[in-house]
Every structure is written in structure tokens, then in C-alpha cells.
Amino acid sequence: MKQLKIYALVVLFAALSCGKNKEVIKDENSSVSSNIDSKVDSLLSKMTLEEKIGQMNQYNGFWDVTGPTPDNGDAGKKYEHLRKGYVGSMLNVTGVENVRAVQKIAVEETRLGIPLIIGFDVIHGFKTLSPIPLAESASWDLEAIKKSAEVAALEASAAGINWTFAPMVDISRDARWGRVMEGAGEDPFLGSKIGVARIEGFQGSDLSKNNTVAACAKHWAGYGFAEAGRDYNTVDVGTSTLNNIIFPPFEAAVNANVRTFMNSFNELNGIPATGNSYLQRDILKGKWNFDGFVISDWGSMIEMVNHGFAKDKKQAAELSAIAGSDMDMESYAYVSELANLVNEGKVSEDLINDAVKRILRVKFELGLFDDPYKYCDLEREKEVTGSQQIHDAVLDMAKKSIVLLKNENNILPLKKEGQNIVVIGALANDKTSPLGSWRIGAEDGTAVSFLEGMQHYPNNKISYAKGANVITGDASFPFELNINTTDKSEFSKAVSTAKKADVVVMVLGEHAFQSGEARSRSELGLPGVQQELLEAVYAVNKNIVLVLNNGRPLTIPWADAHIPAIVEAWHLGTQSGNAIAQVLYGDYNPSGKLPMTFPRSVGQVPIYYNYKNTGRPTANEPNSVFWSHYTDVSNTPLYPFGHGLSYTTFQYANLNVTVKSGNEVEVSFNLKNTGSIKGKEVAQVYIRDLFASVTRPVKELKGFELVELEPGEAKQITVTLTEKELGFYNNSGDYVVEPGDFTVFVGGSSNTALESNFTL
């Protein structure tokens, strides 16, 4: 009876506050947030310690429309916790019916009726997939990237989800690390812009709408600098790299009002990120004043025992809570240990209150207290899932993500008729791999394969030969895949078919499950026997277009030296085959630029364009040995950061640099389309600070513009550099702009065309 009364009061409270809240939320931010803060305080004052800790506990989905999944031993306990109000969030519960069922328990059966926040990895789409994030980043098209996140949010929110664990804004310089597919590449400037575009796309301008979701900047911090590119490995980086390379995209995310952060599996300079007060309290919540909440990564609290940082689960909970991890994903540490820790005086209840306030604040902002079922509309789910609008957006994004790496003798675009085209490669006929590594919401086999895409051009004869498997095993069971296949039994068929072709299109590279989490590689060439297949086909027909499918930069020096056309087509999502075919036939003129350097050899890794000069950057006399180089490979990359060709050509001229008052520098130049078709170019502006109190890289991207030009058309482009672009973080973590000499570089890649100097 008593419980019923309290429940009635809560419903009344929620009902009263929701009517008001709806109006207020549209007002300007300060009054909205103070309004939310007072609701949060009022709710918090009614909560028991266990209920507060419940908000800090997230459980992985144990739910099917029928109830808790029977095959999960923990399900019974989780179910009981849910009914008691000891669960604040669930992940991997999707679909309106499932979400409604768990939400109903949280809202209608618990004492206070606090709704759950429902999280999912909507990384590059939900059921209908966009290109993998690294591919999208190759577009350098912030509007398109924002749109891609917007339609991902649309489709996911229609399936009950209101929180995505994206964007991953980890910078990485190491292509061996499988998760480079999930980020924006190696550059903090580009990475910050792309991270912000994704956050804006996911969260929209009004988080309380039912078609937007809360975003999550991850993994805080340093995860992309795992030693030797091996996932989850130790990270040990210096202050300058931390402040200038790793932190900036996260700071930009806070400034873009990202509502949540996820910490990371790795230790950073000896302290695991999940138990790291410097990262979570001093920088994120202190210096940057972040008012959202931090979730741990999957089991990262309990993994602190393996790291050798916590003695046991109890200490892991203590260290995590003190360090500022607000929500526990799948360590079961908070739910089982935190109340005792508070009662024993080891963790102050103030810290718990702070964490819970942060979590409740986001729930209020999402409007979950107004209507906990706002994402649970079956009609809307049917209408939105896989809609034409979403397919159009992912196709557009896929075309923009393709990078033309090489095109000798204009072998591309392909002629649209009268050609005998032979397509070779298992990936050409694959309807699952293009979906990418993060496709847990999608159905296998739902991508348009390359061969299907080619069918839209019926006036050529297309034949197909697999040539070699990329993987064996069932692609839906990624753990059972054998990726190093050795079977060459289909080589001879491929070679004999290729002999008669006008053009051979070879689709080679990595299956989607060869990149992504825990998919680190020690070699970066074409996996398995694909390199041998390429050489065998080349021996009988040199007219080859190589289409690469991959989640990371590959080392392909032989292909670069021999194959006339190379197209970087990544894992492009649901519309992959259509996008590649349209580019190969010239119905879409490619404009992508690499967001990550392609090495010549794996031994050059980490290789990145914004390196430091060193004391011995060049040989000071011929045949000198004592300078910073390799004896067996050049220092230069195979394809530099920012590289990408078009079916037209561009010319840069008339670079002018003017220093204005207040440390503003105006960089202007002329860009002309010198070819015969319309095309887009990403004009890039770099600087070098020639001497500084902390050494600066030889080049740093500081501006870019995506420009479309008609044949023969020229445009004057002006990029203004402000103190935000001209300074850096010193080793005390202070941002400084130092007077001195700078060089400005301009061009269509980090191998720039023009340069000039200025002095601040």
C-alpha cells in the first residue's frame, strides 16, 4: 500500500513536471538547465542509496519480447534488479516491443519509476548502414557526415534506442590497430571537426525529440595509441602528444555538448583509464567542465584487477567511483560493491550523488520523464526502418567516401558499353562484408554487393570468377573465421577468364571482420593468397582496376607499382555496390581524400604526416648514413594523408598570406578545375611553427574547404587562421600562441603544392 502511494506520487510528480518541461525545454539553455537541475535535485532527495547506485548500473540485454532470455544464467538476477530499480540503463535491447517491455518494468514496477536510458552501438547506422567511420572521414564532407549520423539516429530511435556509443574520436597513427576503422584517422584537427559533425547529427538541436539520440565520445583516453597496434594493450604517451593529439577531439566533443563519454580499456601511463582521476575528474569534469556522465567500457572496471591496479572487484568499484566513472557497463562492480563502500566510508555519498545527478540530467534532457515510451511507436518503427530517405543518405555518403588512389592513362571511368569486363575476388560477390565490422543491428546479407551494383550498367558483358576466398567459415560467426586462407584451387579459372577481358576489376582486401575491435594485424598487405592472385592475373592482363575493401590503410607497394587504377572503397555499408559502380562508371566523380597515411611497409608504422623534424631530418652529404631514416625503405608513405584523385584535375596558384591584427592570418589562393569535367576538391591548408618552446610538427592541418568547380572554373579561396589554429598546448597543458616564424602550405594533399611564410 505504502509503495503504491509513493508510486502514485512519483507519477504525479512526473506528470506535473512533464507538462511544464515540454514548454521550458524550448527556452534558452540556462533556464532549461536550471529547471532540469531542480527536478534532478528533487528526485535525488527521494532516492535510497541502493536506488542511486542502481542508476549507475547498466546491464547488457537479457530481454526478448517474451521476457528475460532463458539461456542467460544471469537473466533472473538482472530481472530482479530491474524490478527493484537497481538498473539505470540497458544496452543491446532493441526493437520497440523489447524496449517497451523493459521500460514498462522500470517505470511501472519500481518504487520511483525512473525510466531507463537505452544504449546501443549505432556506429555507422543501425539496420541500414553507412560506410565505416574511417571511410566517411575520407569524404572530408562535414555536412554529409552529419547527415549520416542524423539518419542513423532516426532509424535507431525508431527502434527504441536513445543513446549511441559513438562517435569514437580516438586518434590513431597505427594501421595495425583494428579499430582505426571506427575513428576519423590520424589528425586531431580533422578528427575534431568530424567528431563534432557526428555529435550534431546524432543529438540534433533538440535532444528531447524522438528522432535524436544522446551521443558518446569514446574512448577516454589514449586507446588509439595501444603499443604495437595490439588492441587493449598498454598506452604510454608523453604530455605533448596527449595534449595536442589525443585530447583535442574530446575537448571539441565537450564544446559540442556531447552528453556522455566512455572511458577506455587501456592503462594510460600506468593508470587504467577507468580508474584515472586525472582524466575523468581533473581534465574532463574539472578543466573542461563536462556536465554529462561517463560510462565505463565493457567490463573495464573489473579488468583493473588484471591490469594490476585493483586488488579485487570491490577495490575496482572504489577506484572507479572515486576517479569519476559514473556508470558501470558489465562489471557488476557498482551494483554489488558500492553500497558497502559508502557505508564503510570508503566512497563518499557526495560522489554517488554527483554521478546520479549527471545520469538523471541526461534522462531529463532526453525527455524520458515526459514520456518514457517516446521511442516506442510500432508504426513509426515500421515506417522509418530501411526507408528510402535512409537508403538515399547512405548511398550519398558511400559515394563521397571513395578515394581514387591511382588512375594511370585514365583507365577509369569505365566505358559504359561494348566492354568485356571480368570481375574477380570473393569480396565482389559478398553481401555481408560491405556492412562493416560494427553491424550488430543489421541483417547479414543486406548489402548491395559489387556485382549487383555493376548490373545497373547492362551494356557491358560482365563475367565473374572468385579467384580466392578471403575468409572461410560463417561470416555471422566472426570468431570462427579463418582469415589466412591458402586455397589457390580457383586461381586458374580466374586467370583464364581474365585473359579475354577488356578490363579486369579485382575486388580485394579485408573482410569486414578483419578490422574492428580485437582485429589487430601484424601484416598490412592483402590477406591470404590475394596478392598472389593479383600477380597471377596481372601476368595475363595488365588492364586491371583494383578495388580495395578494407578497414585500415594497407601496404600495397606492388599494386601501386604495377596496377594502373586503384580505388579505395573501404567497407561502404548497405549501398556499397551501387556506390562503387557509379564511381567506376564516372556517374559520380570521386573526391575522397585519405584521413590516414598509407605506409609502404608495416615497419614504418606508426607513420603520420604531422611528424617532428628530429635533429637529423636529411643526409647532409651524399651517402651519409647518420640521419633519421631506414636502410631498406624510404621515409615517405605510399599515399600521404589527404591524398585522393579525381577524374578531373585541379591547379593551385597565387597563394597570399596576410597577418591581420589580433593574431589573425588570412590565407587566400586560387583553385582551378583544369580538366574537362565537373569535380570536387578538398583544398587543404597546413602550417608549420618553425621554432617554439615545445617543438612543433613539420606540418599541421589547420583548415580545409570542399569546393565544387565546373571545367575551367576557378575560385578564390580564403581560410582565416585564428589563435585557435596558431597555438598549441605546452607541457603544462596551457594553450599558448607564441610569436615567431611560420610557414603556410596549401594543396590537394599533405604533399602540398604551394607555400609561403609569415611572422606573428
Q: Which is nearer to ligand BGC, 133 or 703 (CB)?
A: 133
Least separation in angstroms between residue 333's CB and ligand BGC is: 16
Q: ∠367-372-374 over CA atoms, to 5°?
A: 75
Contacts of 519 (CB under 8 A, 6+ apart): 178, 231, 437, 513, 551
Q: How far is CA 334 from the centre of its chain?
A: 29
Q: Does 198 bind ligand BGC (CB under 6 A)?
A: no
- Identify the residue whose cell numbers are 579459372: 493
* C-alpha cell, 572: 561502404
Min separation Cβ 475 and ligand BGC, Å: 19
Give the 3-state secondary structure of residue 227: helix
- Least distance (Å) between residue 61 CB and ligand BGC: 11
Q: Which is nearer to ligand BGC, 297 or 510 (CB)?
A: 297
By beta-carbon proximity to ligand BGC, the closer residue of 191 and 527 is 191
Lookup: cell for 207:
535532444
When binding is defined by CB under 6 A, the residue of 298, 558, 611, 627 that contacts ligand BGC is: 298
Q: How far apart are CA 570 and CA 134, in angstroms?
A: 8
Say if residues 671 and 652 touch (Cβ distance below 8 Å): yes
Among 218, 363, 696, 702, binds ligand BGC (CB under 6 A): 218
The minimum distance between CB 175 and ligand BGC, in angstroms, equals 19
How many chain residues touch ligand BGC (CB under 6 A)? Answer: 6
218 or 643, CB closer to ligand BGC? 218
126 counts as binding ligand BGC under rule CB under 6 A: no
Task: Give every CB contact of residue 2 below 8 A, 6+ residues apart in sequence.
Answer: none
Strand 741-747, strand 57-60: pairing:
unpaired
**Closest CB 440 distance from ligand BGC, rounded Å:** 8
Q: For the purposes of burial, counting CB atoms within 10 Å of the CB of 182, is it exposed (0-12), middle (13-18) or buried (19 or more)?
A: buried
Cell of 436: 562493416
Cβ-based burial of 372 (10 A; exposed 0-12, middle 13-18, buried ≥19): buried
- Residue 50 as a binder of ligand BGC (CB under 6 A): the answer is no
* Catalytic status, residue 689: no
Nearest to 528 by CA among 440, 610, 466: 466
C-alpha distances out from residue 454 to 42, 422, 542, 735, Å:
61, 11, 21, 52
- Least distance in Å: CB of 29 to ligand BGC? 28
Beta strands in 195-275 (DSSP E): 216-220, 260-263, 267-268, 271-272
Which grid cell is 359?
Answer: 545520469
Q: Which residue of the set 121, 297, 430, 689 is catalytic? A: 297
Q: Which is nearer to ligand BGC, 165 or 177 (CB)?
A: 165
51, 136, 155, 297: which one binds ligand BGC (CB under 6 A): 297
Query: Which one, 183 or 367, has the nearer CB to ligand BGC?
Result: 183
Cα separation, 742 vs 756, in Å, equals: 9
The residue (of 79 and 265) whose beta carbon lies closer to ligand BGC is 265
The residue number whose beta carbon is nearest to ligand BGC equals 165
Q: Is 121 in the site for ligand BGC (CB under 6 A)?
A: yes
Rounded (10°) CA dihedral 488, 491, 493, 499: -170
Output 263 or 550, the one with its CB closest to ligand BGC.
263
Least Å distance between CB 523 and ligand BGC? 24
At 652 the three-state DSSP class reads strand
Nearest to 39 by CA among 502, 367, 468: 367
Q: How far is the CB of 52 from ligand BGC (least distance, A)?
A: 24
Instruction: Tell me whether residue 100 is exposed, middle or buried, using C-beta atoms within 10 angstroms of its C-beta: 0 to 12, 13 to 18, 19 or more.
Output: middle
Draw the binding track, 515-544, toward ligand BGC (x: CB under 6 A; -: no contact).
--x---------------------------
The mark string for 482-521 relative to ligand BGC (x by CB under 6 A, - otherwise) is -----------------------------------x----
Question: Minimum CB separation from ligand BGC for residue 517, in Å?
Answer: 6
Report the alpha-carbon distance of residue 165 to residue 262 in Å, rounded.
Answer: 8
Task: Examine residue 7 and tell whether it contacts ligand BGC (CB under 6 A).
Answer: no
Residue with cell 651524399: 622
Between CA 113 and CA 371 the distance in angstroms is 12
What is the longest distance spanned by two Cα atoms in the chain? 92
Burial grade of 34 (CB within 10 A; 0-12, 13-18, 19 or more): exposed
**Least separation in angstroms between CB 297 and ligand BGC:** 5
Binding of ligand BGC by 165 (CB under 6 A): yes
Least gap, CB of 159 to ligand BGC (angstroms)? 16
Q: Residues with catalytic annotation?
A: 297
Which residues lie near ligand BGC (CB under 6 A)?
Answer: 121, 165, 218, 297-298, 517
